[in-house]
Amino acid sequence: MSIKPTYLTLKGEGLGLKRDSRMVVSNADITVSSTGLTGLIGANGSGKTSLISMLAGLTVPDYGVVSLTDHAGRVASRKQIGLMMQKPVIMRRSVYRNCEYVLSALNIPLSERADRIMAGLALMELEHYAQQDARTLSSGEQQRMALARVLMASPGVLLCDEATSNLDPKSTQMIEAVIMDKAAAGMPVLWVTHNLAQLRRLARQVVFMQKGEILANQNLDDFFHTPACSDVAEYLAYERI
């Protein structure tokens, strides 16, 4: 865990995605950088997962470009993106081996792996599950494992799609603490959530999507107090219900 982290800037410009002759994302500009956590919110089907998937490179955009660069503007490898999807990949292996697979694929030296894995699992209070078949974990435990696994690779940028959707309040708080630490240390984070209270706790910047379009991209205070458009105000009105 001693390597000096190098944080990257992930940028999408004019991103558009067409599915079944419908634009599920259109003309989206977004930057994820070391300036604190960026929250991404919007109703179901508004295009959040599609946008993340394009930023990660998993989906090829129909319009626009994605770039991943270091502080000097040099192009960086996609392997440095930490992606936690809405439905994480759970390998048919033990929790420990799930983590080890990722570290070995990223060429983390063998001598470092065990320490990293145990520290990462401990961070998510999963150290006692190391030998359990990952498929038999509860969905909340799987989510914690996925987050532990992505963090122990020390990514240069982190994309999380509803990382706490299955978690109890205590686990949620535990993960929020970890993520806040990382963001404060400069890790660029894009964080999708439906939980507005969580957004208030974590985000520095908020991106709001509706029907595939980014309608607002504001800092946290402005977003809640002087929303960029009436759609945001309408969306926020539900918080009181």
Partner 1 sequence: MEILRALSDAFGLLLTGDQALYEIIFLSLQVNLSAVALAALIGFPLGALLATSRFIGRGFINMMVNTLMGLPPVVVGLLVYMMISRSGPLGVLELLYTPTAMIIAQLILVTPIITALTRQSLSRLNDDYQSMFFMLGLSPWRRMRTLIYDGGMDLVTALLAGLGRAMAEVGAVMIVGGNINHYTRVMTTTITLETSRGHLSTALALGAVLLTMTLIINALVAILSGGR
Ligand X SMILES: Nc1ncnc2c1ncn2[C@@H]1O[C@H](COP(=O)(O)OP(=O)(O)OP(=O)(O)O)[C@@H](O)[C@H]1O
Q: Which of 49, 59, 172, 198 binds Mg ion (CB under 5 A)?
A: 49
Residues of this chain, 17-46, that bind partner 1 according to CB under 8 A: none
83 binds, among Mg ion, partner 1, ligand X, none (CB under 5 to 8 A by kind): partner 1
CB of 130 to partner 1, least distance (A): 18
Q: Which of 19, 22, 71, 78 binds partner 1 (CB under 8 A)?
A: 78
Residues 94-123, one symbol each (x = binds partner 1 by CB under 8 A, - = not), give -------xx--xx-----------------
Closer to partner 1 by Cβ: residue 104 or 226: 104
58 binds, among ligand X, partner 1, Mg ion, none (CB under 5 to 8 A by kind): partner 1
CA separation for the pair 198, 185 (Å, rounded): 19
CA separation for the pair 140, 188 (Å, rounded): 24
- Kindly list the strands in the beta sheet with 81-84, ordered across the sheet, starting from the edge strand earlier in the chain: 81-84, 157-161, 189-192, 38-42, 205-210, 213-219
Where on the chain is the footprint of ligand X (CB under 6 A)? 19-20, 24, 42, 44-50, 86
Q: Over 159-201, what HEC string results?
A: EEECCCCCCCHHHHHHHHHHHHHHHHCCCCEEEECCCHHHHHH
